[in-house]
Amino acid sequence: MDRMIAYCGLVCSDCPAYVATQADDRAALEKVAAQWREEYNHPDATAESVICDGCLATSGRLGCYGPGCEVRACAVGRGVVSCGHCADYACDKLENLFKLAPDARPVLDEVRRSASSSQ
């Protein structure tokens, strides 16, 4: 499977919700929902709500946060491949996300370096 990096730098293809969705594994989706209810204080998470084809999907199954994610909406609105390609990197939206998901920053930093060196 190719590595899929979300606009924000999270690696969709490493996400257990994405992996379970792609495998059509209902038991794994239930397990992810249970974990996220606790880990992210998301009491409404269900197997259905974590079904996700990755943040780069243009329609359909975007999991718990995809449809309401302000970082994703901003990147789509600006037409950038990822936030690492944005002239306003790293904005307040990203800084807030990095507090919750610090692993995303080094991924986007690398994306940004790669984009700069290819120009």
Residues 76-96 have pLDDT tens digits of 999 999 999 999 999 999 999
Look up residue 79 and give its DSSP letter: T
Does the pTM surpass 0.85? The reply is: no
**Taking 60 as the threshold, does the pLDDT of residue 1 lie above it?**
no
Q: Which amino acid is at 89?
A: Y
Q: Identify whether the C-beta of residue 4 lies closer than 8 Å to the C-beta of residue 56.
A: yes
Q: Identify whether the C-beta of residue 55 lies closer than 8 Å to the C-beta of residue 18.
A: no
Is residue 11 helix, strand or coil?
Answer: strand
Q: Where are the domains of the chain?
A: 12-117
Residues 53-79 have pLDDT tens digits of 998 888 778 876 666 789 999 999 999
Considering only CA atoms, which of 38, 37, 39 is closest in space to residue 47?
A: 37
